[in-house]
Amino acid sequence: MNSISVIGAGSWGTVIANLLALKGNEVLLWAYEKDTVESMIELRENKPFMPGLKLSPNLIPTNDLNEAAGTASHIILVIPTQFIRGILTKAAPIIAPDTVIVTAAKGIERGTLKTASAIIREFLGNEVAVLSGPSFADEVAKKKPTAVTLAISDHSKHAHTLQEMFFTEYFRVYTHEDIIGVELGGALKNVIAIASGICDGLGLGLNARAALITRGLSEIIRLGVVLGAKENTFSGLSGLGDLVLTCTGNLSRNYTVGMRLGGGETPAEILSDMKAVAEGVETSASAFALAERAGVEMPIVEQVYRVIHESKSPAVAVRQLMSRGLKVEFRHG
């Protein structure tokens, strides 16, 4: 079987590690918090981030990054995008050149405006794949049917191996070759999910939410195509699938941030009591900057950025979106 290390023991990292361990793989699960590791060893459960999930005997918690990064045939990075650079600064020198790296991050780094795979390639020449799609950790932990996308170079010899490695009777994996499209879909949907939560927090109704999701998808496609993604990628699991889930599911951290913003709380108040990271908060700034640099109009992303980072009133932001100049929905030819 494969020797696998999962870097990041939040809810999704824990669930992915356990899924792989239940298939008979030896899996090291690295956590930054020493007390989380000790708790997992003693109780065989990650109480802070995934309470109730019994951990496989094949899952070995560790606080030693050198052990996790230096011994694996496959490394799965399940940490927020903003932390990847810091982890790789420490881990890259000890990662073997034939180790396959899989990222499950869904964000865009502030400052550099890079996706996770681009950050990884700064440090490593290894094969890189991206795991994305509509997948709440809680439902995967309960073995509810889930389908995701695994993006990897179309000439990679590892595509089928990785597909088989993650696949179970409840976790279906499709392969894809559009890495940038899959990453952008996963990152940008978090920003639209915050907007969707704001919409619901303000009590604007289902019509408004449906319109917002649809127009949000248009914004994602516009930017994605300019940045080299394939348009049809965004109609797939890592695009429309993940967007719908994150914009409508109450298990979504990003949607919850938006709901609370719409309910009158400030970003500082919301983030101060959130245990897990909502990637859309930081990605809203990166996406806004990326759109400006690419010359792409993204009015929903812009308003989310201004609400979170410039203390704009959510109600004013919605009013300005609705009062924009009239447009043609699609331009053909």
Active site positions, annotated: 189
- With b for 16 or more beta-carbon neighbours within 10 A and e for fewer, the 269-295 pattern comes to ebeeeeeebbbbbbbbbbbbebbeeee
Report how far residue 110's alpha carbon sits from residue 220's, in angstroms, rounded to the nearest whole number: 18
Three-state DSSP state, 8 = coil
Distance CA 21, CA 40 (A): 14
CB-based contact 168:23 (threshold 8 Å): yes
Sign of the four-CA dihedral 226, 249, 162, 172 = negative
Please report where in the chains the tokens 């990605």 appear, as a residue.
283
22-28 contacts, C-beta under 8 A, 24 or more apart: 22/56, 22/58, 22/168, 23/165, 23/168, 24/58, 25/1, 25/58, 25/165, 26/1, 26/58, 26/60, 27/56, 27/58, 27/59, 27/60, 28/4, 28/60, 28/61, 28/62, 28/67, 28/68, 28/71, 28/72
Strand partners, 61: 29
What is the C-alpha R_g of the chain?
A: 19
Question: Which neighbouring-strand residues pair with 150?
Answer: 131, 175
Length of the chain: 333
